[in-house]
Structure 1
Amino acid sequence: MPVHTSETIKGSRGKGFGLGLALASAVAFGGSGVAAKPLIEAGLDPLHVVWLRVAGAALVMSPLAVRHRALLRRRPALLAGFGLLAVAGVQACYFAAISRIPVGVALLVEYLAPALVLGWVRFVQRRPVTRAAALGVVLAVGGLACVVEVWSGLGFDALGLLLALGAACCQVGYFVLSDQGSDSGDGAPDPLGVIAYGLLVGAAVLTAVARPWNMDWSVLTGTARMDGTPVAAWLLLGWIVLVATVVAYVTGVLAVRRLSPQVAGVVACLEAVIATVLAWVLLGEHLSLPQIAGGAVVLVGAFIAQSSAPAGNGSEPVAGGGAERELSARGTTA
């Protein structure tokens, strides 16, 4: 019996550490928009901020790309899909959205991704979904209506909302690609390797689109303002690259390896809460009571949708909060 007791304690500690990693990942991801928006308001184009984030993270993660270079031969389609959709597409749309609408609203719109995935499964693939999943979709859409204040003719910039929806659609595209091209057993790709190559692909694509040689580099040597408080621009950029990207991705992968995808997905839902609170405190972006209530409903709906696997599908539920968590869950389950 002492053996079982020690194993139980070890397992509990491992899960506790995993929860800590998942929370750290949610905090890191949630802080990206708060750090990026002052740089955009200081004069940087949203695409340039995205390029700086992805290119910097790709440079830091390049040793992992060298270590897993066999992925270039084995899984080129997956690497291209991750780079184009989960990295370049999601980040470009999200950063462009927060230049026009509040950070919290943009991220809550992005949390429609689990509901959109189920819509793809039901109406495009014509596969049945559970009643709980359908309820999650209804809750997410209803909550979003409160967040964007549809009763007042959309209280936010329509283009900004479309860009945030574009970020959610990019996540859906990667979910579908991952579902169609996933391996099993020992053939499953290493999540950290895919992330490293995804960042490299995303950086290459964004270089052609953003044209960083036209960027106003002098902004990075000055200061940006967070609700009137001056902050060094290089410090904000360092947070975006090292914490909100590298640390966020790595801790997210390690967390899912210690937890079930469902538990990691629940903790990931805190990302939207953290982003909204940080934007409220640091940027002065206050939301009304109906918007806060609607945001809570969106998160509940996203949680129900991601924790309810489509009927007849042997894969694990879609984890809310980003394609990187779906990739981590697939690698761990395999």
Structure 2
Amino acid sequence: MRTSESGLAGRGKGIGLGLAIVSAIAFGGSGVAAKPLIEAGLDPLHVVWLRVAGAALVMLPLAVRHRALVRRRPALLAGFGLLGVAGVQAFYFASISRIPVGVALLVEYLAPALVLGWVRFVQRRPVTRAAAVGVVLAVGGLACVVEVWAGLGFDALGLLLALGAACCQVGYFVLSDQGSDSGADAPDPLGVIAYGLLVGAAVLTVIARPWAMDWAVLGGTAHMDGTPVPAVLLLAWIVLLATVVAYVTGVVSVRRLSPQVAGVVACLEAVIATVLAWFLLGEHLSAPQIVGGAVVLAGAFIAQSSAPAKGAPQPVAAGGVDTELSERENVA
């Protein structure tokens, strides 16, 4: 019986890891689709608003279906929308207006280290040594991927804004995990995402002021490495793949893994974004970027393979016990 439960737990972790990778790929493709739209004349904040508002419309039927969440978990929905959706986007785009994109990405992806700190010192849950090593490797690899040395200008406000994006990303991972151990009373992740997108769209409407947007751009074409592509097709990519699929697979992966493991795997987003830009936008990779990508992959593998499973009372690396499956996992 114990062997069977361990097999189910391992299978669930494998599914969670697969979903986390899909989420990183989907999120990583957002920049590749957004850049041609920005070059065609759209403001970056307007692209973000289109992304979130479009995804909110797609998820609206699920919001209606799970409307009971508004009464049961209003704080969770508001927090996820403000931090996990609007906060990450707004702080990141504000930071890249003052500091290089590579530096902003590196600071934002300090989030996995901050997640480990939250889990260890706030939630007082065990963290394996391998998970910490994985974070260090992932952050170091990211420094190579974004070539942080190419833009080492010091702008205190820009760095603070990027750190704000990292803190909001911590909120995304922590809030995605809220209630996952509550069995049948756990908030449905699709409902949380739907209302989070609605809250994020409302906040970004005030910030982005879409009524001033050049809507005619969406009716024309944008160029991806010289190839004309309908702007509406790129918008569909951003909304459906880079937002809806990315958030759904990301939140579900956090439920199956843990915030700290999912956070490290999410570092792959920067690697994937760089690789996609190489193939689709003609932005070639340098040798340090290739090496950095390999280091990020190694860090993610080490962290996910040795991190404590959900519900384990002590780290696996320290000789932990078999994880007991919750009623929700048994039903699955």
Per the normalisation by structure 2, the TM-score is 0.74
**Is residue 145–residue 271 contact of structure 2 (8 Å, CA) maintained in 1?**
no
The CA distance in 2 between the partners of 1:271 and 1:205, in whole Å, is 25
What residue in structure 1 maps to residue 61 of structure 2? 63
How far apart are residue 298 of structure 1 and its match? 3.0
For residues 96-135 of structure 1, what are the structure 2 equivalents within 5 Å?
Answer: 110-122=108-120, 129-135=127-133
More moved, 300-309 vs 113-122 = 300-309
How far apart are residue 272 of structure 1 and its match? 3.8
CA gap 1:123/1:25 in 2 versus in 1, 3 angstroms: closer
Q: Which 5+ residue runs of structure 1 have no aligned equivalent?
A: 1-7, 318-330
Q: Any idea what the Cα deviations from partners look like across 1:283-327, whole Å, max 9, x if unmatched?
A: 22223211221233234334444555479975999xxxxxxxxxx
How far apart are residue 112 of structure 1 and its match? 3.1
What residue in structure 1 maps to residue 294 of structure 2? 296
Matched, 1:138 2:173: no
What residue in structure 2 maps to residue 213 of structure 1? 211
Aligned-partner SS, 2:284: coil
Give 2:87's match in structure 1, choosing from 89, 95, 117.
89
More moved, 13-22 vs 174-183 = 13-22
Q: Any idea what the Cα deviations from partners look like across 1:127-156, whole Å, max 9, x if unmatched?
A: 663321222232233323434545566399
Q: Which 5+ residue runs of structure 2 have no aligned equivalent?
A: 1-6, 316-327
CA gap 1:287/1:101 in 2 versus in 1, 3 angstroms: farther
* Count of residues in correspondence between the two structures: 311
CA gap 1:241/1:180 in 2 versus in 1, 3 angstroms: closer
How far apart are residue 28 of structure 1 and its match? 2.8
The CA distance in 2 between the partners of 1:284 and 1:93, in whole Å, is 28
What residue in structure 1 maps to residue 73 of structure 2? 75
Q: What percentage of residue pairs aligned between the two structures are identical?
A: 85
For residues 1-334 of structure 1, what are the structure 2 equivalents within 5 Å?
Answer: 24-94=22-92, 110-122=108-120, 129-149=127-147, 154=152, 165-177=163-175, 184-251=182-249, 271-305=269-303, 309=307
What residue in structure 2 maps to residue 328 of structure 1? none
The CA distance in 2 between the partners of 1:295 and 1:157, in whole Å, is 27
The CA distance in 2 between the partners of 1:153 and 1:62, in whole Å, is 41
Aligned-partner SS, 2:41: coil
**Is residue 189–residue 252 contact of structure 2 (8 Å, CA) maintained in 1?**
no
Q: Any idea what the Cα deviations from partners look like across 1:40-70, whole Å, max 9, x if unmatched?
A: 2222221111110111111111010000000
Per the normalisation by structure 1, the TM-score is 0.73
The CA distance in 1 between the partners of 2:146 and 2:17, in whole Å, is 32
The CA distance in 1 between the partners of 2:221 and 2:120, in whole Å, is 49
**Is residue 36–residue 95 contact of structure 1 (8 Å, CA) maintained in 2?**
no
**Is residue 261–residue 304 contact of structure 2 (8 Å, CA) maintained in 1?**
no
Letter in 2 for 1:81: G
More moved, 89-98 vs 169-178 = 89-98
Aligned-partner SS, 1:287: coil
